[in-house]
Amino acid sequence: MSGYVGILVSDPCLQNQFTQFTSMRRENGKLTLGDLASRISRLKVVGENLSDQETTDFIAALYPNFNDEVDFESFLKVYLKLHAHASSRTGNPAKNSSAFLKAATTTLLHTISESEKASYVAHINNYLAQDGFLNKYLPIDPSSNDLFEIVKDGVLLCKLINVAVPGTIDERAINTKRLLNPWERNENHTLCLNSAKAIGCTVVNIGTQDFIEGRRHLVLGLISQIIKIQLLADLNLKKTPQLVELVDDSKDVEELMSLPPEKILLRWMNFQLNKSSYKKTVTNFSTDVKDAEAYAHLLNVLAPEHSNPSTLAVKDPLQRAKLVLDHADRMGCKRYLTAKNIVDGSPNLNLAFVAHVFQHRNGLSTQTKQISFLETLPDDAQVSREERVFRFWINSLGNSTYIDNVFEDLRNGWILLETLDKVSPGIVNWKVANKPPIKLPFKKVENCNQVVKIGKQLKFSLVNIAGNDIVQGNKKLILAYLWQLMRFNILQLLKNLRCHSHGKEITDVDILRWANTKVSNSGSQSRMDSFKDKSLSDGIFFLELLSAVQPRSVNWSLVTEGVTDEQKKMNATYIISIARKLGCSIFLLPEDIIEVNQKMILTLTASIMYWFLKQPVEEKPAATSDSENGSQLETLSNSTTDDSASESSVE
């Protein structure tokens, strides 16, 4: 199934089928053809037109062995054929189903939208035009496939991530020679993928080779996510406090803060439309805007000085869409889509267009009366940072649902159960789990009770934590649970490197001693006494550790003394980028190193250790033998956890 999930992110139709598939497979841990015959009847178009027996007979004719396990490709083929068969009963053959079936499924998954490609190329040309390295390749011709050639060295994607979330990648870590060797290109793509995960992109089943080979659907899928993150960056109360105008009281403000950016954008759009004569509610960026009427009213509210009475008078949606874009052009907001994209209901491009309009003219009051609400809300930067780390980590695991807020989206327990199953396969009893949507509160409590029960089974410290605390969104207890789950995950990854750990438990002290030994063996005097050692704030120890595990990774001419705050930040940013460039999947921020956040320091060290120990022997620095590392870890694994190294239990 490699390669499927990458495109599903940017293809709503396929994403829906993939969700159905994973949901069916989740019930028993796997999905056989026999299971599929009974479960696929739940899907509307099949169940309404075919009996269970007809469905079973149809599948039996395709695949006689009902004990065979079903992968997504097989599921999609069966679904499409059943869909076509069932639809023919009603006299309304399924659109495009015959075209789907004429080609191999894998070929289908590789289709791209030329309109989206042209739009994203225009975005890249606009935002990276002044880049000193890329300007010799820009502007890219949107009608060509030059984009997929230019991304092969990894530089453009890294730069685009920094446009979306400035400072994510330390550009000193990007390999930017005119001609890069395969190793250097691979490093750039590794840096790109790990950094993309760290800003919230879903990159499950996408590898560096996909970009080196210029696989268009995967490249475009990632670019789409990066641009979306950039365009929605201001859709929160921290960046745009005027959004408080959308709500009436402090309770509503908290609800608004928990919404994903797309939902806030829709709420903003409907808030503005309420000022016009438009009576419908826009619920999506596809079918609800295809007639362009909502856009005509929205732009009339935001920029009445540029309105054209003909826009609402014309009957043809395509003509109206053209007039809407003329209006947007006069506002300086004509970007991302064409009139045809509007009437075709392209969700990605319509969302990009509305987000761009919001960025340039949101129509909100600059002095809101409700601003006092914001002042009464707790502003806990540490809680916000930890929530971000755990959210991106959970999303990186490839669960069935993308989460936007751990305090809201984990409350029914389902995603937590999925995460536990990823971290410790087979540990969840799916027979007693309740699958979303869950309307009855006690069903959510049942899921969360199992989450707590499994946590105790894994020896988490869960003093005074009950399933209902998760259902109620108790921030402190949810963060405590997630930290222990994340820590357990990295320790399990290390333990599973049996050639080094011999299957023994790895402790925090093992990680601490391993790091100190690596740095000491490289000839340095640096050491860390614990994961909360304040001397770590200058970053020098971690740069020496990275240099010890991969001597060519650190350019010491770029390292500062780490004395001033600015020097510390430069070192911390460099550390994170170098670690990601090697292959470490980490989600911390430079502030976590500067402030010596004990939890994040542990995960950083453990991630570097995991990367090093899983390297083939011939790729490790010659100074360190594999037997040396094995015996070292074997000795360390017999030690016990020392709280002076890490106070990992949170009560």
CATH topology of domain 114-232: Actin-binding Protein, T-fimbrin; domain 1 (1.10.418)
**Alpha helix (H) residue ranges in 40-154:** 44-47, 52-62, 72-89, 97-102, 105-108, 114-127, 146-150
Q: Is the preceding peptide bond at 437 cis, omega within 30 degrees of 0?
A: yes
Residue with tokens 């709420």: 267
Any idea which of 220-229, 501-510, 618-627 has the lowest mean pLDDT?
Answer: 618-627
Q: Is 204 helix (H, G, I), strand (E, B) or coil?
A: coil
pLDDT exceeds cutoff 90 at 103: no
The pLDDT of residue 36 is 76
Do 478 and 410 contact (CB within 8 A), yes or no? yes
Mean pLDDT, residues 380-407 taken together? 88
The pLDDT of residue 376 is 52
329 vs 19, which has greater pLDDT?
329
The pLDDT of residue 618 is 57
pTM of the model: 0.79
The pLDDT of residue 637 is 39
CA 187 vs CA 105, 153, 249, 365: distances in Å:
31, 9, 49, 46
Could you report the per-residue pLDDT of 158-195, keeping only the tens digit for each?
999 999 999 999 999 999 988 899 999 999 999 999 99
Count of CB atoms situated within 10 Å of the CB of 428: 22
Structure confidence at residue 498 as a pLDDT band (50, 70, 90)? low
CA 317 vs CA 280, 306, 355, 463: distances in Å:
17, 20, 22, 60
Burial of residue 474 (CB within 10 Å: 0-12, 13-18, 19+) is: middle
Right CATH for 241-375 from 3.20.20.100, 3.40.50.720, 1.10.418.10, 2.60.40.180: 1.10.418.10
Q: How far apart are CA 420 and CA 423, in angstroms?
A: 5
Count of CB atoms situated within 10 Å of the CB of 477: 19
Q: How far apart are CA 591 and CA 569, in angstroms?
A: 7
Q: Rounded to 5 degrees, what are φ and ψ at 409?
A: -80, -10
Which CATH superfamily hosts domain 508-614?
Calponin-like domain (1.10.418.10)
Percent above pLDDT 90 for the chain: 62
Q: Rounded to 5 degrees, what are φ and ψ at 69?
A: -80, 145
Q: How far apart are CA 343 and CA 350, in angstroms?
A: 10
Burial of residue 47 (CB within 10 Å: 0-12, 13-18, 19+) is: middle
The pLDDT of residue 29 is 64
Q: Maximum CA pair distance of the chain? A: 80
What's the token pair of residue 540? 């020098």
248 vs 567, which has greater pLDDT?
567
Could you report the per-residue pLDDT of 528-583, keeping only the tens digit for each?
999 999 999 999 999 999 999 999 999 999 999 999 999 999 999 999 999 999 99
The pLDDT of residue 157 is 97
User: How crowded is the C-beta side of 359, counted as CA atoms within 13 Å?
Assistant: 18
Do 502 and 637 contact (CB within 8 A), yes or no? yes
Q: How far apart are CA 592 and CA 579, in angstroms?
A: 15
The pLDDT of residue 339 is 94
Which DSSP letter does residue 456 get? H
| 303-308 LR contacts (CB < 8 Å, sep 24+) | 303/327, 303/330, 303/331, 303/361, 306/330, 306/331
Q: How far apart are CA 329 and CA 419, in angstroms?
A: 46
Q: Is 32 helix (H, G, I), strand (E, B) or coil?
A: strand
Mean pLDDT, residues 489-506 taken together? 81
**Class at the top of the CATH hierarchy for domain 379-497:** mainly alpha
What's the token pair of residue 378? 């707790």
The pLDDT of residue 640 is 34
The pLDDT of residue 616 is 79
